[in-house]
């Protein structure tokens, strides 16, 4: 780049490339460095910011200032050559060095295909900023589900999938500096795995729903959920003061017949599911009829014939 930016680093190399065993670099009448074989010597004023590739003769110069502008020359005696280039170094205000690149995630726990992930990249100081996003070792580019806003400082992934978990990082650069954020990840939850779903409700461990008055009932509710679901019980569409996997009723009456529901909530996925069963509570006589006992046995029982 010519002109180049004050504060940046440049490398001057020969084209076509050539192997050099010795030589020196200078700008105008001032020597920068000289080398012979593997050894190189840097002149005062360039110590710590100039070095040469002792094979190719390429010069790298950092922390450039306006006074570094001028005609750069390289000379070599083996092979015999001389080459030069004129460079100018300028300020490009307002350009402020970048510091403290950070990421902020709107929500790190997301449900696959049901949520969007938003990450904002910011700096404490810096101007004339450019942004690049990385997912692991791959650069993130705009697509149907991938959107960049606010000058590419914000990354929004619509309808996240399991391949969008990260790690994401933000690289920020301007003409004089650069910086990289720490990595962040999304935690993705999958509805069919994390639930709650596949709910089951049993009463006294049986597959029947008719019981006699005066019975004790233990209703067990199970739901597949990760993390474990929070369970709440309901009766006839209204919540009752009971939570957990078990609802126990003692000495039940006929007026306690009706639909009993178990409502499951996963506080990580924010999803609900429920299961309902209808319980009938009746006299022993009705239970005998419901059990379809042969009529001659019922008559024998009622009239004391058995």
Distances (CA, A) of 174 to 75, 89, 232: 33, 15, 56
Domain 4-90 has CATH 3.40.50.620: no
pLDDT at 141 over 60: yes
Residue 90 has a pLDDT of: 78
d(CA 306, CA 296): 10
DSSP state for residue 184 in the 8-state scheme: B
Confidence of residue 302 (pLDDT cuts 50, 70, 90): very low
What pLDDT is recorded for position 284?
Answer: 59
Reduced to 3 states, what is the DSSP secondary structure of residue 139? Answer: strand
Q: How confident is the model at residue 92 (pLDDT cuts 50, 70, 90)?
A: low
Superfamily of 99-190 according to CATH = Immunoglobulins (2.60.40.10)
Residue located via tokens 């058995």: 306
Percent of the chain with pLDDT over 90: 58
Q: Is the pLDDT of residue 20 over 80?
A: yes
For the chain, give the percent of residues with pLDDT over 70: 89
79 has a pLDDT exceeding 80: yes
pTM of the complete model beyond 0.75? no
Helices assigned H by DSSP within 98-242: 191-194
Does residue 193 surpass a pLDDT of 70? no
Query: How confident is the model over 159-181, as a mean pLDDT?
Result: 89
Task: State mean pLDDT over 45-69.
Answer: 91
User: Can you name the CATH fold of 199-291?
Assistant: Immunoglobulin-like (2.60.40)
Which residues are registered as beta bridge partners of 239? Answer: 234
State mean pLDDT over 242-254. 94
Give me the residue spans of the domains in the chain. Answer: 4-90, 99-190, 199-291
Same fold, 4-90 and 99-190: yes
Judge contact between 217 and 235, C-beta under 8 A. no
Residue-level pLDDT at 285: 43
- Look up residue 162 and give its DSSP letter: G
Residue 112: exposure state from Cβ atoms within 10 A (0-12, 13-18, ≥19): buried
292 Cβ contact partners less than 8 Å away, ≥ 6 residues apart: none
- CA atoms of 264 and 56, how far apart (whole Å): 71
Q: What value does the mean pLDDT take over residues 277-290?
A: 69
Is residue 145 predicted with pLDDT exceeding 70? yes
Cα separation of 160 and 117, whole Å?
Answer: 7
What is the distance between the alpha carbons of residues 155 and 168, in angstroms, rounded to a whole number?
Answer: 10
Collapsed DSSP state (helix, strand, coil) of residue 298: helix
- pLDDT value of residue 97: 84
Q: Are 89 and 64 in contact (CB under 8 A)?
A: yes
Answer yes or no: is pLDDT of 291 > 80: no
Distance of CA 94 to the CA centre of its chain: 34
Band of residue 136 on the pLDDT scale cut at 50, 70, 90: very high
| CA dist list (Å): 28 to 84, 85, 252, 258 | 10, 11, 104, 99
Please, which pLDDT band fits residue 295 given cuts at 50, 70 and 90?
very low
User: How many C-alpha atoms does 231 have within 13 Å on its Cβ side?
Assistant: 23
Say yes or no to pLDDT of 272 above 50: yes
**Mean pLDDT, all residues of the chain:** 86
């Amino acid at each position: 780049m010519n002109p180049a930016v004050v504060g940046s680093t440049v490398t001057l190399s020969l084209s076509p490339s050539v192997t050099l065993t010795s030589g020196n670099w200078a700008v105008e009448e001032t020597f920068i460095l000289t080398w012979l074989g593997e050894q190189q010597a840097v002149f005062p004023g360039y110590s710590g910011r100039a070095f040469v590739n002792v094979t190719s003769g390429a010069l790298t110069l950092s922390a450039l200032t306006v006074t570094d502008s001028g005609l750069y020359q390289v000379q070599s005696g083996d092979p015999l050559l001389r080459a030069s280039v004129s460079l100018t170094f300028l300020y490009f205000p307002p350009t402020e060095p970048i510091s403290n690149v950070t990421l902020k995630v709107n929500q790190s726990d997301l449900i696959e295909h049901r949520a969007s992930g938003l990450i904002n990249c910011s700096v404490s100081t810096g101007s004339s900023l450019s942004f690049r996003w990385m997912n692991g070792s791959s650069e993130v580019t705009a697509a149907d589900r991938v959107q960049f806003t606010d000058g590419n400082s914000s990354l929004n992934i619509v309808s996240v999938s399991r391949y969008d978990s990260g790690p994401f990082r933000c690289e920020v650069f301007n003409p004089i500096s650069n910086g990289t954020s720490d990595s962040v990840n999304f935690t993705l939850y999958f509805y069919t795995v994390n639930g709650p779903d596949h709910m089951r409700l049993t009463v006294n461990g049986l597959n029947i729903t008719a019981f006699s008055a005066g019975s004790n009932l233990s209703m067990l509710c199970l739901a597949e959920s990760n993390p474990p679901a929070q369970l709440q019980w309901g009766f006839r569409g209204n919540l009752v003061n009971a939570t957990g996997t078990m609802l126990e009723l003692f000495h039940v009456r006929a007026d306690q017949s009706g639909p009993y529901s178990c409502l499951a909530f996963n506080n990580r996925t924010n999803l609900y599911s429920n299961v309902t069963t209808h319980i009938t509570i009746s006299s022993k006589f009705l239970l005998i009829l419901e059990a379809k006992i042969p009529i001659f046995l019922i008559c024998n029982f009622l009239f004391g014939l058995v």
